Homo-oligomer: A and B are copies of this chain.
Amino acid sequence: MLPEEFRRFGHEVVDWIAGYLQHPERYPVLPKVSPGDVIDALPPQGPENGEPMEQILADFQKLIVPAMTHWNHPGFMAYFANTSPGPGILGEMLAAALNGNGMLWKTSPAVTELEQVTLGWLRDWMGLPSDWFGMIHDTASTSTMHALIAAREAADPDVHSYGGWGTSKNLIVYTSEQSHSSVEKGAIAIGIGQENVRRIPVDAEFRMRPDALEQMLRRDCDESRHPMCVVATVGTTSTTSVDPVPAIADIAKRYGMWLHVDAAYAGSAMICPEFRWAFEGCDRADSLVVNPHKWLFTPMDLSVFYTRRPDVLRRAFSLVPEYLRTDDGSRAANMMDFGVPLGRRFRALKLWFIFRYYGREALADMIRKHVAWAQELAAMIDADPDFERSAPTPFSAVCFRYRGSDEQNALLLERVNASGEVFLSHTVLCGKTVLHLAIGNMATTRAHVMRAWELIRQHADFSS
């Protein structure tokens, strides 16, 4: 494609995006498609010869856009919402054009160093210790897997050489019943095994019980197993509960375990000093993950992994073949030494654009508003005799249910989501089906939250 042709279609695409961002409610949040619709609409064989860009863009609008779940829709309140704001898109455009690969410092100094700078800014904004090392991964699942590998390296360096088979230690990972499935998945992936992940019971507010953790640890130690890592969560996936990190940090220290904190969602709120209570004790963690692509208004994908022990991470992952050997001195970080992926695209660019365009205060203010609206909704739910809240609401996610059967709640969810105006998700708490409404998109306003509540109440009519 000649630069002039790129210019022409680039302008067209920018105009399309501007129109799309102008009317984020033009499309229903959840698309009206069935499994296989997109596959069936496309040819089974790829084209032998090129096609005009006009045709491709027309097909994009006709076939792809209507089959998207619109995460940009202000009514997207399922799971945790995300946002792709203008400065983030501009950053991704330039990152795609430069196409740098930061595997080594030498293969793109700016990719490596801007990552260090932006993650340093974020670390300070969140109040984490200033000597922590940060790196970008695609998702929190990958970040947590890296935390587990570092924890394993610290607990038993023999695994690096001889594998799980070669160790005399039955390594155990501890996390709460409410923690994200990525902890178990990571433990399976790295060869710790699902049965060696202890799901610690939670209290009435869905927080890990330190007494139960300690009890489990004692039993494991008595039976000659070896505690490797405890994963605490600040903002769990279902209810955004906050594990008691200070008490967990005490226990981790006593048992010589790695402490990893999953703050994928709520970590972003730490840029507001008033929510910093939730990070109490996190300065004593060995590693922590926060996802700017969740609640810090950054396009997918961008998960940040911090550790105060980069030496362990490096020991776990450094493996330099001759063809990748460089000698650029100690200030030149080679990011490939700290993780599994070798290639690294220029993700820090969008983060830099977003941090600078908005500044900390404006970003914090958006998060504050989301929390305030969630509190307001929580109060309205509490005041409605037909509904009940199912968990505390420390941040911007509200868990609640219609005072009825699980079937009625499932039907309610289906009806509300079918409206196309809003998309909620569900979870199960204390054995009951519960609706989960999380505010997190920059385009969401108080009115959208009120409208969601209106729809929920309207559809909660099971009389017929």
Residues of B within 8 A of A106 (CB): 30, 69
B-contact 0/1 string along A107-137, CB 8 Å cutoff: 1111101101110111011000000000000
Residues B14 and A10 in contact, CB atoms below 8 Å apart = yes
Are A105 and B317 within 8 A (Cβ)?
no
Taking CB atoms, residues of chain B closer than 8 Å to A4 are 18
Residues of chain B lying within 8 A (CB to CB) of residue A113 = 36-39, 67
Tell me the complex Cα distance, A182–B319, Å.
Answer: 9
From 85 to 107 in chain A, residues with beta carbon under 8 angstroms from any chain B beta carbon are 85-90, 92-101, 105-107
Q: Are A343 and B427 closer than 8 Å at their CB atoms? A: no
Quick check: is A203 within 8 A (CB to CB) of the other chain? no
Residue of chain B at shortest CB distance from A111 = B68
Asked if B165 and A98 make an inter-chain contact with CB atoms under 8 angstroms apart, the answer reads no
Stretch of A190-198, A210-218, A253-261, A376-384 on the interface side: A190-198
**A251 adjacent to chain B (CB < 8 Å):** no
**A332–B33 CA distance with the chains assembled, in angstroms:** 11
The answer to whether B108 touches A97 (Cβ under 8 A) is no
Partner of A323, one of B10, B60, B121, B436: B436
Question: Residue A276 at the B interface, CB < 8 A?
Answer: no
A457 adjacent to chain B (CB < 8 Å): no
When the two chains form their complex, are residues B69 and A100 in contact, meaning their CB atoms are under 8 A apart?
yes
Nearest CB on B from A160, distance (A): 6
6 pairs, CB–CB < 8 Å, chain A vs chain B: A10-B93, A46-B118, A50-B358, A72-B97, A82-B99, A165-B193
The residue in chain B whose Cβ has the minimal distance to the Cβ of A169 is: B165
Least CB distance, A7 to chain B, in whole angstroms: 4
Does A425 touch B at the CB level, under 8 Å?
yes
Asked if A430 CB lies within 8 Å of chain B CBs, one says: no
Pick the interface stretch among A19-27, A241-249, A280-288, A388-396: A19-27
A96 adjacent to B88 (CB under 8 Å): yes
CB-contact partner of A161 in B101, B194, B301, under 8 A: B194
Interface assignment of A273: CB less than 8 Å from any CB of chain B: no
